[in-house]
Amino acid sequence: MTDPASVEAGVAAAVERFGRLDVFVNNAGLGLVGTVQETQRADWDRLLNVNVTGVFNGCRAAVNQMLRQQPRGGVIVNIASVAGQIGVARRFAYCATKGAVIAMTRELSVDYVKDGIRCNAICPGTVYTPFVEGYVERFHADTKEQTIQELHARQPIGRMGRPEEVADLAVYLATDEAGFMTGSAVVLDGSVELAYGRGGLVVELPVEADADTIEPQYLPGLTDEAATLREALRQPIASPPLRDVVPRGATVGISVCDVTRPFPAQRVLPVLLEELDYLDPAAITIFVATGTHRRCSDAELLQMFGPELLGQLQVEQHDAFDIGRHRSLGTIPETRVAAYVERDFLEQDVRITTGFIEPHFFAGFSGGPKMVAPGLAALETVLELHSAARIGHPQATWGITQGNPVHDGVRAIAELAGVSFNLDVTLNRDHAITNVFAGELFASHAAGCAFARATAMVRVEDPYDVVVTTNSGYPLDQNLYQSVKGMSAAAQIVKPGGTIVIASECSDGLPEHGGYQQLLRQADGPEAFLARLAQPGLATHDQWQVQVQALIQRRARVFVKATGLTAQQLRTAWFEPVDDVAAAVRAALTSAGPKATLAVLPQGPQTIPYVTRQ
């Protein structure tokens, strides 16, 4: 693999025999034990030559052939290592070179995806091969059996991997069944990494459970985010270009997500503002659509926008509890409740909404019109949009907008507000932008929802006894209130009477602000709260979140791992606290019986599974 001519000859031989090159696997590699101080320059160069330059030679030869042949395209599978993603003691050179393989895989997938070339990496843990056996024989001959058992025990699953298991994954990645995967680094080490806080959480699930891991289709980030954003603003959906929508001398209000959403404002807003460079910056106001959430702190605003944008533009944070800041647009259709929206936003000559689209647990999808209501709506209006009747409607669920009474009301208010232009993005688990939808509010949002539905919603045949979920990591898992969304995703596929285990960091606590905590304390549990809700007259801040939580807990037991909350706080919130996710899963499986089934949603509500048969 270190000789380019040899690699090219191998590719040529394959083409001569089979007529084309459909699959190329880079599997050659060397290992080395040592810290940076213990690693000799000659050994470092040797590992770079084989593990990095060898993969480069293979990828280059494969890509050249795949571009020459007709039809163009093919699949490249690079064998990396879990050591390329985590630190392994005294494996300095090995970790560095395998990290490079993962980086090359991701970059190559972006460059050639439009040419029909997919490239993925496999990141195995320790695999029991003749190489490992020879290593043990050479360095641990006197304790061979003990050392092999220690290597088995060191793996999360309790044993080393088998070569055929790596081969099976490589075959899968080469087939059309993995046709929507490119740029992925698939870990194969017997464990699962859950999105938890900023750093993730590795969990060793019982191998005998044969868990189904359910994730959204991974999409690589856009090759050039700014260029794609610019194109969307200049060639929008069902709308003139943004520059034609915004006349010279106009005042502009831009609604953006608050800190609880991973909207990449620092990457999106500069491109949008470039298109409006003929305006005085003083004419542009950013409205942080907090809904009924708390205000963002100064540090959070800096995190969201960066110092340059904060210094350039006026930023107003919405306050749903100050009715004087709102103006009535009439009533919400089929109600007597006023549609109150932020007055300053309505008084702008041009009103722009920006957001990101993902499935939402009772509004169908986020983004688009939700950036007006509830984003910039008064509490009275939000209470109607999130009323017990609307939340309890069977259509008020993931992935449904039309006929969903929550989203129907949201769209009606946004239409009354007169949004001039909309810009939505979709994101992958790395928060990279995967697509952009801009233009007329409802047409662009509908296009984005269709895209998100196709990539984030996953069909399963039967419900599960136990479902492990998350709330997609930071910033979405900042508090327990937000974590109800991750529970709701799991509730879609858990059996009645089953168990949900959620890992959500909750660094912001319950939280202390809002009505969520108070409502929990006012009832003895889910059934007591639902009974109270059935009585007329209960309409208060955050009741909708407690309603959804109670309905989930009516269906299944819910265990919560949350570093930011004490066990007592979780019990007060009607949950069962756990420190060890794996132990909780084992106990739940044991309780469910020998044929118990297990599903894992590592990305939480970034994936919305649904059952095709009950």
Q: Tokens in use for 26?
A: 């880079």
Helices 265-275, 225-234: crossing angle, 10 deg rounding: 40
User: HSE-up of 37 (CA within 13 Å, CB side)?
Assistant: 1
Give the residues across from 338 on adjacent strands: 331
List all residues 6 or more positions away from 571 whose beta carbon is below 8 Å from its beta carbon.
577
In this prediction, residues 380-409 reach a mean pLDDT of 96
Tell me what pLDDT residue 509 has: 95
pLDDT at 154: 67
pLDDT confidence bin for 130, thresholds 50/70/90: confident
Predicted confidence at residue 40, as pLDDT, reads: 96
- For helices 441-456 and 405-417, angle between their N-to-C axes, nearest 10 degrees: 150
**Alpha-carbon dihedral sign for residues 111, 114, 115, 121:** positive
- On whether the CB atoms of residues 502 and 488 are closer than 8 A, the answer is no
Strands 457-460 and 608-611: parallel
Which residue from 356, 383, 370, 506 is spatially nearest to 442, judged by alpha carbons? 370
DSSP helix/strand/coil, 17: helix
Place of tokens 């005294």: 90
Q: How far is CA 417 from the centre of its chain?
A: 31
Residue 614 has pLDDT above 60, yes or no: no
The mean pLDDT of 464-486, rounded to a whole number, is 95
Mean pLDDT of 329-353: 97
- The pLDDT assigned to 131 comes to 79
Q: How many CA atoms lie within 13 A of 274 on its CB side?
A: 13
State residue 157's pLDDT score.
64
Average the pLDDT over each of 146-150, 270-274, 474-478 and give the range with the smallest value.
146-150
For 54-67, what is each residue's pLDDT tens digit? 999 999 999 999 99
| In the predicted structure, residue 613 carries a pLDDT above the cut 70 | no
Active site residues: 94
Instruction: Say which amino acid occupies 581.
Output: V
Q: CA-to-CA distance for 302 and 317, rounded, in angstroms?
A: 13
And the tokens for 472? 């997609």
φ/ψ bin of 55: left (φ > 0), alpha (ψ from -120 to 50), beta (otherwise): alpha
Instruction: Give the three-state DSSP class for 415.
Output: helix
Q: Measure the CA dihedral 192/195/197/203, to 10°.
A: -20
Q: What percent of the chain has pLDDT over 90?
A: 80
Residues 6 or more apart from 536 whose CB is under 8 A from it? none
Tell which residue, 401, 143, 424, 403, has the closest CA to residue 272: 424
pLDDT-based confidence at 220, cuts 50/70/90? confident
How high is the pLDDT of residue 348? 98
Residues of the chain with CATH 3.40.50.720: 4-125+161-190
* CATH number 3.40.50.620 given to 4-125+161-190: no
Amino acid of residue 135: Y
Amino acid at 393: H
- Determine contact, residues 20/77, Cβ cutoff 8 Å: no
- What are the residues facing 91 on neighbouring strands? 34
Give the other-Cβ count within 10 Å of 254's Cβ: 26
Structure token digits, residue 268? 């999106």
- The whole-angstrom separation of Cα 120 and Cα 217 is 13
Residues of the chain with CATH 3.90.226.30: 461-611
Q: pLDDT digit string (tens) for 391-401? A: 999 999 999 99
Provide the 8-state DSSP code for 467.
E
Strand, helix or coil for residue 358: coil
Residue matched to tokens 């300095």 = 92
pLDDT tens digit string along 178-207? 998 999 998 888 778 899 999 888 887 876
Span between the terminal Cα atoms of the chain, in Å: 52
SS3 state at 135: helix
Could you tell me how far CA 188 lies from the centroid of its own chain?
Answer: 20
The pLDDT score that the predictor gives to residue 158 is 64
Res 125: pLDDT: 87
Tokens 């080490």 sit on residue: 189
Fold category of 461-611 in CATH: 2-enoyl-CoA Hydratase; Chain A, domain 1 (3.90.226)
- Please give the pLDDT value at position 408: 98
- Tell which wins on pLDDT, 562 or 208: 562
What confidence score (pLDDT) does residue 419 get? Answer: 98
**pTM metric for this prediction:** 0.69
Which helix H or strand E contains 496, and what residues bound it? strand 494-503
Q: Which tokens belong to 465?
A: 């006894």
Distances from the Cα of 613 to the Cαs of 176, 232, 597, in angstroms? 26, 39, 15
How high is the mean pLDDT of the chain? 93
Residues of the chain with CATH 3.40.50.11440: 225-454
Beta carbons within 8 Å of 134's beta carbon, 6+ residues apart: none
- Class for the domain spanning 225-454: alpha beta
Q: Which pLDDT band, with edges at 50, 70 and 90, does 88 fall under?
A: confident
Give the distance between the most distant pair of CA atoms in the chain: 84
DSSP 8-state secondary structure symbol assigned to residue 151: H
In sequence order, what E strands does 63-191 have?
Answer: 74-79, 117-124, 185-188
Per the CB < 8 A criterion, the answer to whether 161 and 128 are in contact is: yes
The mean pLDDT value for 441-453 works out to 97
- In this predicted model, what pLDDT tens digit does every residue of 95-116 receive, in sequence order? 999 999 999 999 999 999 999 9
Q: What is the pLDDT of residue 606?
A: 87
Strands (E), 20-153: 23-26, 74-79, 117-124
Residue 219 has pLDDT above 90, yes or no: no
Question: For residue 199, what pLDDT is reported?
Answer: 84
Number of H helices, E strands in the chain: 22, 24
Q: Which residues fall within 8 angstroms of residue 273, CB to CB, at 6 or more apart?
A: 284, 313
pLDDT tens column, 498-545: 999 999 999 999 998 889 999 999 999 999 999 999 888 778 889 999
Q: In a 3-state reduction of DSSP, which class is residue 32?
A: coil
Confidence class for position 31, pLDDT limits 50, 70, 90: confident
- What's the rounded mean pLDDT across residues 572-576? 97
